[in-house]
Amino acid sequence: MSAPLDYLDHLARESARFGSVMNAADPAAPVPTCSGWTAADLLWHLGEVQWFWGTIVRDRVNANTAEEIKPPRPARWPGLTEFYASASAELGSVLALTPPATTVWTWADDKTAGFVRRRQAHEALIHRVDAELTVGDRTPLDPELSADGIDEVLRIMFGGDLPTWGMFVPDAGSSLRIATADTGDIWMIEIGQFTGEDPDSGQAYDEKGIRLAGLEAGAEPAAVVAGNAGDLDCWLWGRPGVGPLERAGDKAVLAGFEEIIAQGIN
């Protein structure tokens, strides 16, 4: 990845595209990538997510407080579209007025408004894909934002940077390289067993996971997945891409990684 991204600009662009596509949607149309959801459900979801994070950053409250004061879902489509437009505009405005280093509540180790900027740009991007698939009007994804999305998925959403309270033991010969053909980015991943107990929640873990590994000069992975950044980002989020992905190497490693990502992101 090259220069730092303007997440606010990407958030605005992806949110605007989502809203435009939703305005043309049948409220009852099924969302093919969100089982059981209609277009109305998708519109409410991104609207409430953007309202939630706008409230978190603006009012410096935690998740519980934000949920307590969340407005009810509008009963009719015009109300949903108005709620989304208002929540989206407010989120963009609040984040623009809040320095990225500002401390705010988040579910991640990174407790800053900068984390929210990045996370919400990618939230809007992926749900823009959902919206376009719902109405059958697919448009290209920004390669640089998508490459950053791959990094976020691997490093944060799938736990590539593992917590210090756990232990990760890699499987022998389990390395996987993910490479973008259009942006030239590379991630090396190991598959293994993660065990430990979260000191905050008390939840115990003993499950398959991944860890980001260093890019050692000349190191050859057991398997490789390559393609354009947008297609790889969609693949990691369980959405169909536009172009093909190239898979090569150890089939067991490829299958093991795809089994992990098929479980979805918590």
Using the predicted structure, report yes or no on whether residue 266 has a pLDDT greater than 60: no
Domain boundaries, the chain: 7-139, 146-262
Predicted local confidence at residue 213, as pLDDT: 86
Predicted local confidence at residue 219, as pLDDT: 73
Q: 7-139, what's its fold?
A: Four Helix Bundle (Hemerythrin (Met), subunit A) (1.20.120)
Phi, psi of 43 (to 5 degrees): -65, -45
Predicted local confidence at residue 160, as pLDDT: 65
Predicted local confidence at residue 179, as pLDDT: 97
Using the predicted structure, report yes or no on whether residue 218 has a pLDDT greater than 80: no
Q: Specify the CATH class of 146-262 in words.
A: alpha beta
Query: What is the strand order of the sheet 246-249 is part of?
Result: 204-213, 186-197, 166-180, 223-227, 246-249
Name the β-bridge partners of 212: 189
Predicted local confidence at residue 142, as pLDDT: 98
Predicted local confidence at residue 159, as pLDDT: 74
Residue that wins the pLDDT comparison between 3 and 203: 203
Using the predicted structure, report yes or no on whether residue 216 has a pLDDT greater than 70: no
Predicted local confidence at residue 214, as pLDDT: 76
2 pLDDT band (50/70/90 cuts)? low
1 pLDDT band (50/70/90 cuts)? low
Indicate the angle between helix axes 143-152 and 113-135, nearest 10 degrees.
Answer: 120
Q: What is the DSSP letter of 5?
A: P
Residue that wins the pLDDT comparison between 220 and 89: 89
Residue that wins the pLDDT comparison between 245 and 213: 245
Percent of the chain with pLDDT over 70: 96
pLDDT tens per residue, range 26-72: 999 999 999 999 999 999 999 999 999 999 999 999 999 999 999 99
Q: What's the CA gap between 191 and 179, in Å, rounded?
A: 17
Are residues 148 and 1 in contact, defined by beta-carbon separation less than 8 angstroms?
A: yes
Are residues 101 and 112 in contact, defined by beta-carbon separation less than 8 angstroms?
A: yes
Identify residue 146 by its one-letter amino acid code. Answer: S
201 pLDDT band (50/70/90 cuts)? confident
pLDDT tens per residue, range 120-155: 999 999 999 999 999 999 999 999 999 999 999 999
Predicted local confidence at residue 106, as pLDDT: 97
pLDDT tens per residue, range 152-200: 999 998 876 678 888 989 999 999 999 999 999 999 999 999 999 988 8
Name, in order, each residue with C-beta under 8 angstroms of 72's C-beta and a sequence gap of 6 or more: none
- Mean pLDDT confidence for 76-103: 98
Using the predicted structure, report yes or no on whether residue 100 has a pLDDT greater than 60: yes
